[in-house]
Amino acid sequence: MLVLHEMRRRARFLVRPLVGAALTSYFVYHTIEGDRGLRAWRETVQQLRGAKEQLAAVEAERNALARKVGGLDPNHVDPDLLDQQIRSTLDLAAPNEVVIVPPGASAPPR
C-alpha cells in the first residue's frame, strides 16, 4: 500500500510536465509539418515564384504579339512587317536575294 501511495504521489509531479511536453511537441510538429506549416509555406512560395516567372514570359509574348498586330493596323501599316508577312506566307524571294535557312527548318523549293 505504501508503494502505491508513493507511486501516485510521484506520478502527480510527472503528469503535468509530460502532458506539457506532449502538447509542445504536438504543436512544434504541426508548425513544421502541418498543412499550413513551414514546409507547406516553402512549397507555396516556390509555386508562386514559378507562376510569376511564367506570367512574365506570357506577358512578354503577349506584348510581342500586340506590337506585331499593331504594325498591321489598316490605318497605318508597317511596310517592313507587311513585307515579312507576305514573304513568309507566300514563300517568295527576289532573284537577287540570298535565303539563309536556319537548321531544322525546311528549305524553300527552287
Which cell goes with 101? 535557312
Whether 99 has a pLDDT exceeding 90, the answer reads no
pTM of this prediction? 0.54
Q: What are 43-83's pLDDT values in tens digits?
A: 999 999 999 999 999 999 999 998 888 877 778 777 888 88
Report yes or no: 77 and 70 within 8 Å, Cβ to Cβ. no
Hey, which residues does 73 pair with through a beta bridge? 76
Could you tell me where the beta strands, DSSP code E, fall in 18-81?
A: 72-73, 76-77
